[in-house]
């Protein structure tokens, strides 16, 4: 039975594709949504290799600090405005985020490379509206083959979107 919340139903429909992504990449895979200025990782399957981040403990991080959060901010004018309002007059931080959000809007993904962990995120489309769910993969930076992971991430995201749209 469908839930009253369309995004909640979409998360349930997208969740099985995390297993597909784990099988294709061997990396930790997640679904993420925005909640205020935070990105919440609603579903996650862990790969081998120990690419742990703070969100593995509490399920969320500041949106501007993550690949998933930045991807979702790029598709939500309202959420990105709230983020800039939270930062106030920090023009360097805001200018850097604006550049990154524009780049995300021109490509089908967001990437954040850290000293130990790399994350890639792509939007999941369930209708013709802007996406409000991200599909995320993370792994150890030293082992992360960005081109291979991105190709698998895009294939799984496309299959997930087609499956969810067929149910609507």
> Could you give all domains of the chain from N- to C-terminal order, each with its CATH number?
14-144 (3.30.450.40)
SS3 104: helix
pLDDT band (50, 70, 90) for residue 4:
low
Q: In what order do the strands lie in the sheet with 38-45?
A: 60-62, 38-45, 28-35, 133-140, 117-124, 110-113
**Mean pLDDT, the chain, integer:** 87
Strand partners, 45: 29
1 — pLDDT class (breaks 50, 70, 90): very low
Span 52-68, average pLDDT: 83
User: For residue 51, what pLDDT is reported?
Assistant: 72
- % of the chain exceeding 70 in pLDDT: 93
CA dist 77 and 72 (Å) reads 10
**CA distances (Å), 148 to each of 51, 123, 154, in order?**
18, 18, 10
Rg (CA), the chain: 15
Give residue 85's pLDDT: 73
DSSP state of 155: H
Are residues 36 and 89 in contact, defined by beta-carbon separation less than 8 angstroms? no
Select the more confidently predicted residue: 149 or 128: 149
- Tell whether the model's pLDDT for residue 50 goes beyond 80: no
pLDDT band at 17 (very low <50, low <70, confident <90, very high): very high
Mean of the pLDDT values across residues 24-35?
94
Predicted TM-score (pTM) of the model is 0.89
Q: Is the pLDDT of residue 90 over 70?
A: no
Length of the chain: 168
Higher-scoring residue by pLDDT: 44, 168: 44
């Amino acid at each position: 039975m469908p839930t009253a919340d369309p995004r909640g139903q979409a998360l349930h429909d997208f969740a099985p594709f995390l297993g597909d992504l784990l099988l294709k990449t061997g990396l930790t895979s997640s679904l993420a949504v925005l909640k205020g200025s935070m990105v919440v990782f609603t579903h996650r399957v862990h790969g081998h290799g120990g690419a742990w981040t703070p969100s593995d403990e509490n399920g969320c991080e500041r949106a501007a600090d993550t690949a998933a959060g930045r991807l979702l901010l790029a598709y939500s004018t309202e959420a990105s405005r709230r983020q800039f309002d939270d930062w106030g007059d920090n023009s360097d931080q805001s200018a850097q985020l604006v550049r990154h959000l524009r780049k995300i809007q021109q490509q089908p993904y967001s990437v954040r490379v850290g000293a130990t962990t790399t994350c890639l995120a792509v939007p999941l489309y369930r209708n013709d509206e802007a996406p409000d769910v991200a599909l995320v993969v993370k792994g150890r930076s030293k082992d992360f083959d960005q081109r291979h992971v991105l190709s698998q991430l895009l294939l799984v995201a496309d299959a997930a979107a087609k499956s969810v749209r067929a149910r609507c």
